[in-house]
A = this chain, B = another copy of it.
Amino acid sequence: MSALPRLRVGIVGLGRLGRRHAENLAQRVPNVDLVAACSPVDEELAWAGDALGVPNLHGDYHAVLSQADVQAVFLVTPTSLHPQQIIDGLLAGKHVFCEKPLSLALADCRRVEEQAARCPQLKVMIGYGRRFDPSYRDAYDKIQAGLIGKPFLVRSQNLDMNDPSGFFVRFAPTSGGIFLDCTVHDIDLARWLLGNPKPSRVFATGVVAIHEGLREFGDVDNGIATCEFADGKMACFYASRTMAHGHETLTEIFGSAGRLTVGQNPRLNRVDISDAHGVRNECTPTFYERFEDAFLREEIEFVQSVLEDLPPALTLHDATEATRIGIALRESLQTRRVVEL
């Protein structure tokens, strides 16, 4: 093994999250060379060159695909671009990692699945990063080991700190709504932790607690949902954009012999403060502080799956199912009916 195999990758999209992926790929993921970066924003490209030393900088995605030494692309682009960019990447012979969700439209999810099926030698993975978080992984392993008997119910929630500026209200027309934007993570976790059961019907509802501007888009800032599966298992979801204390991703798995809880208290770190406010801990302000390590690990696992020709930890079908259930939740919210799947 004196010549260690390495993977040459290009990063596509250098926004807030894209920069994080780029830094990891340049500095922390073993056996990777970040050989290309792509963004329509000149300043972002300049940063990639200066701070990370990326040698090839492109304003256009197809220029990345044309770069022969690029073996894999990391797509951190707007959701609406995901399906075609994945397909184009596959057609260009590149392995593809793409941030979640796969798409907001089921037909597009399936188009991507079909193209991927035609390229079995290429790896495609959608970045449902919570699966790579060490605590979630530990919970999954404990379930597999039988620690809680037979799991029958997952409750999972994705609570974001309130942004008083209401920035995300402007994003509402394209976000797909709270369930497709936030709850897809919980949907993916529930399916994974329950053994990939088939969904049978869903019910969703919600409240506008603060951001009245969401009403015109049929959206809410606090959404509640229930999903039943064909095998009798269940999942309950809660998503919120109005928390005061920080970002909180919390998942409980109930089994016939015990319960696992992941993320009970969204501690920022191991510091407790005892003062006039009581005994307290600060919280992770955003999902990034909570899942910083998971992002790194999903990158490492994807690279490893390519270098060692292993199946990725989650399939395109998983990503399609998350979108499918998310769409059903939105429909239930908007029609006020139970939706059969």
Which A residues are closer than 8 A to B by beta carbons?
A: 1-4, 26-28, 30, 49-51, 53, 134-135, 138-139, 142, 147-148, 150, 152-153, 155, 203, 205-210, 222, 224, 226, 228, 232-234, 236, 238, 240, 242-246, 248, 254, 256-283, 336-338
User: Is the pair A279, B276 in contact by a Cβ cutoff of 8 Å?
Assistant: no
B207 & A234 in contact (Cβ 8 Å cutoff)? yes
Does A277 lie within 8 Å of B280, measured CB to CB? yes
Residue of B nearest to A264 (CB): B272
A245 x B274 contact (CB < 8 A): yes
Smallest Cβ distance from A264 to chain B, in angstroms? 6
Give the chain B neighbours of A203 by CB distance below 8 A: 203, 205, 226, 338
Q: Can you report 10 residue pairs joining A to B where beta carbons are below 8 Å apart?
A: A2-B53, A148-B275, A152-B207, A203-B203, A244-B275, A245-B276, A245-B279, A258-B276, A262-B272, A273-B278
Tell me how far the C-beta of A56 lies from the nearest C-beta in chain B, rounded to whole angstroms.
13
**Which residues does chain B contribute within 8 Å of A209, judged by CB atoms?**
150, 152-153, 254, 256
B205 to A234, Cβ gap below 8 A? yes
User: A271 touches which one: B30, B152, B245, B261 (CB < 8 A)?
Assistant: B261
Q: Please name the 4 residue pairs, one residue from A and one from B, whose CB atoms are nearest each other, closest first.
A: A280-B280, A258-B275, A135-B270, A245-B274
Residues in B whose Cβ lies below 8 Å from that of A276: 244-245, 258
- Assembly stoichiometry (copies): 4
Alpha-carbon gap, A1 to B256, bound state (A): 47
Residue of B nearest to A155 (CB): B238
B240 touches A238 (CB 8 A): no
Given contacts A27-B30, A234-B205, A271-B262, are A51 and B152 in contact (CB under 8 A)?
no
**Contact check: which of B153, B233, B244 meets A274 at CB < 8 Å?**
B244
Q: Which residues of B have CB within 8 Å of A254?
A: 209, 222, 240, 242
Q: How far is the CA of A1 from the CA of B262 in the complex (A)?
A: 42
Known: A2-B53, A245-B258. 13 other contacts (CB 8 A): A135-B269, A150-B209, A152-B209, A155-B238, A203-B338, A205-B234, A209-B254, A236-B236, A236-B238, A244-B257, A244-B258, A279-B281, A336-B338
Residues in B with CB closer than 8 Å to A134 are 269
Looking at A2, A209, A258, A283, which has the most chain B CB atoms within 10 Å of its CB? A209
